[in-house]
Amino acid sequence: MQYDVIQRQYDEVIASHYDRDPHGVIGRSLDRAVDQIRRRGDELVGVVPLRALDLGMGTGAFLARLRRFTDTLEPFGVDLSEKMIEIAQSRLPDLVAAVDDAANLEAHFEGVEFDLVSTHFVTGFVPIDVLAPKIYDRLTAGGCWSLVGGTKAGFPALQKIARGRLGRWLYGGPPPDLDDLLCNPAGREEVVASLTAHGFAVRDAETFTPKFEFMNLDDFLAFAYYGGWLTPIVEELGLHKAGWMTRAALNTFAFPIVDRHSIEIVLAQKVGA
């Protein structure tokens, strides 16, 4: 997907709604990521100061969580949405931030090495194999990478609907392949293999499978479109502009929908440097 399309979606659609976090999935995922870091004890948390870089940091919620248990945090962030960065800087006035794609990490913060780099819900847009060598080069010896991201196993009920007759009706033909819109890994095995191949050792891993019930189209759009989870897919199908007849048909024949996501939460450490 083109950079400018994603940037527009975050600036114009997602930023002002992101912290509402429908169903609390972002918050619960980030809490699990923080717990993994805390379980590393002084190996990471005891680093003074703790230089942490959040790639695709959104509104700074993860860095704010880190600051709750270490007052020596030096926060850095990259996000392609200027609107998201503005919200993050209101939370963290000392945040050093750059507006850019996470894949362009090497263009920023010259000469700075980080004790912790995080990528949370970024690997649907930038593949792990692209991020891994860039992150490895910027971590200190023994530094850690906190990765949180969805997999292709997520939203099986929605995927079934999109591939079925209803999806073809909405799109006016065969709907696009999800792999053309998102680059999520297949599952934990792929995540671990990629990390290991790029010089990381996995220290902790958890598969988080939150469940959802979407009662109607508005409920779904609040989560999937305005919440940022499936914004590219919603726009591709045109659901955000659905007229009253389409809405009535979907609310009658598609909803309610019960589904689940599949999120890998992994803490990896740089080794062999």
Q: Where do the structural domains in the chain lie, given as residue ranges?
A: 3-153+182-212+260-270
How large is the average pLDDT for residues 24-39? 95
Percent of the chain exceeding pLDDT 90 equals: 77
pLDDT digits (tens, 9 = 90+) for 179-233: 666 789 999 999 999 999 999 999 999 999 999 999 999 999 999 999 999 998 8
pLDDT > 80? residue 51: yes
Q: 3-153+182-212+260-270: which CATH number, 3.30.465.10, 1.10.10.10, 3.40.50.2300, 3.40.50.150?
A: 3.40.50.150
pLDDT > 80? residue 163: yes
Instruction: Mean pLDDT check: name the lowest of 75-89, 151-165, 182-196.
Output: 151-165
Question: Please, what is the average pLDDT of the chain?
Answer: 92
Q: What is the pLDDT of residue 83?
A: 97
CB 165 within 8 Å of CB 250: no
Report field, pTM of the whole predicted structure over 0.85: yes
Q: What is the pLDDT of residue 45?
A: 65
Token duo for residue 260 = 């689940």
pLDDT > 60? residue 273: no
pLDDT digits (tens, 9 = 90+) for 224-270: 999 999 998 899 888 999 999 999 999 999 999 999 999 999 999 99
